[in-house]
Amino acid sequence: MLEIKQLAIAVDGKEILHDINLRIGIGETHVLFGPNGSGKTTLLMAIMGFPRYRVTKGTIIFKGKDITGLPIDERARLGIGMSFQRPPVVRGVKTHDMVGASMRSRAAEARIGRLAERANMTELLHRDINYGFSGGEIKRSELMQLSAQRPRLTLLDEPESGVDLVSIALIGELINELLEKDCPMRSRKCAGLIITHTGHILDYVNARTGYVMLDGRIGCEGDPREILATVKEMGYKECAKCLR
């Protein structure tokens, strides 16, 4: 689904990510850990194709196609979708219309209603995007938009941050639907990369591989639960020893 080779990313002339290598197979969910400021968000923004995140070296391959130079809208059309850590408020655009615009086919009113009900967002559909939304509402709105878009590769930037423990269960269910957790591996068509700071989301999703990012490099590839347990016990300093 996704292959990243020797990727380096610069933001405003400063290299933030160095020599990133990553492979995510179809049907797989991978998890990215790392302290604040290590470059996790930068990686997702670069995969999505935000122009401010400039590729200075390496390639990004999606479903066998080199997308390194493609603009963001073409990547979205090819099937890459992303939820933001802190999405902006968009005054003058109703959440309802954004969900409709995220669908490939012409917006079907009934489908918008179903998606909103599923995400417990019915009351919020008529409000401007993220305007006055709580932390949990913002994250559910992001996932509702992704459910409308139905991307093949879903990139999630800290989907559980700012969400209370009860709502996390619903967030987990919505993510699992996007990532086809209930489908047998062989019939899955999707894959995901999830940034998590706390690791809470691991209680809900079936993650296969975890990585730790430190200072713009990936180290410690392995079982996500083992990585989380090690980080909790010893902190990220010990993870630095895994960097090759």
Ligand X SMILES: Nc1ncnc2c1ncn2[C@@H]1O[C@H](COP(=O)(O)OP(=O)(O)O)[C@@H](O)[C@H]1O
Binding string, residues 21-40; x marks residues near ligand X by CB under 6 A: -------------x-xxxxx
Binding test (CB under 6 A) with ligand X, winner from 14, 91, 106, 244: 14
C-alpha 213/C-alpha 218 separation (Å) is: 4
In the bound state with Mg ion, the residue whose beta carbon lies nearer, of 40 and 96, is 40
In the bound state with ligand X, the residue whose beta carbon lies nearer, of 119 and 138, is 138
Minimum distance, C-beta of residue 161 to Mg ion, in the bound complex (Å): 9
Packing angle of the helix pair 135-149, 109-118 (nearest 10 deg): 140
C-alpha dist (Å) from residue 153 to 172, 185, 227: 17, 15, 23
Binding string, residues 60-99; x marks residues near Mg ion by CB under 5 A: -------------------------x--------------
Q: How many CA atoms lie within 13 A of 224 on its CB side?
A: 25
C-alpha 44/C-alpha 128 separation (Å) is: 25
Is residue 192 within 8 Å of 178, Cβ to Cβ? yes
Per rule CB under 5 A, is residue 41 in the interface with Mg ion?
A: yes
Binding test (CB under 6 A) with ligand X, winner from 41, 145, 196, 230: 41
Per rule CB under 6 A, is residue 83 in the interface with ligand X?
A: no
